């Protein structure tokens, strides 16, 4: 049975426990390395002071990026470069007015334009930093580029975008979508994945998406769900290879019969939505 981290931090229940501890080590080491880099550390600390959301988000993105990179078979050295890029991807936001960054109302076209500058600001902060790798710098510069050229700041296309960068783009989108910044409410993971999968393969690399999916518990164990036919159930186990079709236990059958259904075996049964239990 899969295990899920639930140590009081509501936003990371999708991380398998064993992977989480290992990932935590990588991130801790990277943060320690950063302590020797005054330039970057200054910006990070500055950013944490004005925009805690971006800092927490960056750590989440780093966790997801490490797991995805591992599943893609990327070597350890490069995984660390990717993780560093993920941790620092939004560092350019330090040059953006915190009032715009923390605004909960919808942003004007001009404010959105201002925020878009963070990729170039970020690249500018790290470009001459010899302690950071080419990959890390490219991630900071290119983490809003999309395969069809609709991203920014350069409108790169297809192979012009590094796979390492695409990993962070994808994890960044996912984590940003899970938390609605304005309402501070959580969007169910399966809904986020619905939106995200609509961007595959035009905007997001399909291999990166598939490997990412392997690490996500769409319906974490204990989630309440309602099936298409109206039956209510609770998720009791997950198939890692097919996270959209978990094993569920029916809890409101008309005969008060509590039984399990493996959705991998019953392919005609579908989950309609998640519910509060
Ligand atoms: Fe960004």
pLDDT for 10 beyond 60:
no
- In the structure, ligand 1 is a single-atom ion and the residues with CB under 5 Å from it are 90
pLDDT for 85 beyond 90:
yes
Q: What is the pLDDT of residues 16-52, one digit of tens each?
A: 445 566 777 888 888 777 777 777 877 877 777 777 7
In the reported structure, the alpha carbon of residue 118 is separated from the centroid of ligand 1 by a whole-number distance in angstroms of 7
In the reported structure, the alpha carbon of residue 97 is separated from the centroid of ligand 1 by a whole-number distance in angstroms of 15
pLDDT category of residue 9 using cuts at 50, 70 and 90: very low
Across 171-178, average pLDDT: 92
pLDDT for 141 beyond 90:
yes
In the reported structure, the alpha carbon of residue 89 is separated from the centroid of ligand 1 by a whole-number distance in angstroms of 6
More confident residue, 186 or 202: 202
Q: In the β-sheet with 224-227, what is the strand arrangement from edge to edge?
A: 260-262, 247-250, 232-237, 224-227, 271-275
More confident residue, 44 or 124: 124
**Cα Dmax for the chain:** 69
pLDDT of residue 20: 61
pLDDT of residue 21: 67
């Amino acid at each position: 049975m899969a295990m899920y981290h639930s140590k009081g931090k509501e936003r990371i229940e999708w991380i398998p426990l064993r992977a989480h501890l290992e990932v935590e080590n990588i991130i801790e080491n990277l943060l320690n390395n950063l302590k020797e880099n005054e330039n970057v550390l200054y910006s990070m600390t500055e950013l944490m002071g004005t925009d805690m959301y971006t800092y927490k988000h960056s750590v989440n993105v780093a966790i997801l990026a490490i797991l995805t990179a591992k599943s893609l078979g990327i070597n350890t050295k490069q995984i660390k470069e990717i993780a560093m890029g993920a941790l620092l991807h939004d560092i350019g936001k330090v040059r953006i007015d915190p009032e715009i960054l923390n605004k909960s109302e919808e942003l004007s076209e001009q404010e959105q334009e201002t925020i878009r500058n963070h990729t170039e600001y970020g690249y500018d902060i790290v470009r001459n930093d010899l302690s950071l790798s080419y990959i890390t710098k490219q991630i900071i510069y290119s983490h809003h580029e999309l395969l069809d050229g609709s991203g920014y700041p350069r409108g790169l296309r297809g192979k012009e975008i590094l796979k390492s960068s695409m990993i962070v783009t994808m994890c960044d989108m996912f984590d940003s979508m899970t938390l609605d910044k304005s309402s501070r409410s959580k969007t169910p993971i399966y809904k986020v994945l619905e939106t995200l999968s609509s961007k595959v393969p035009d905007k997001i690399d399909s291999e990166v998406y598939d490997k990412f999916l392997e690490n996500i518990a769409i319906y974490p164990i204990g989630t309440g769900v309602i099936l298409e036919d109206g039956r209510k159930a609770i998720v009791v186990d997950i198939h890692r290879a097919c996270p959209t079709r978990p094993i569920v236990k029916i809890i409101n059958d008309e005969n008060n019969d509590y039984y399990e259904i493996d959705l991998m075996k019953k392919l005609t049964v579908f989950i309609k939505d998640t519910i509060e239990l």
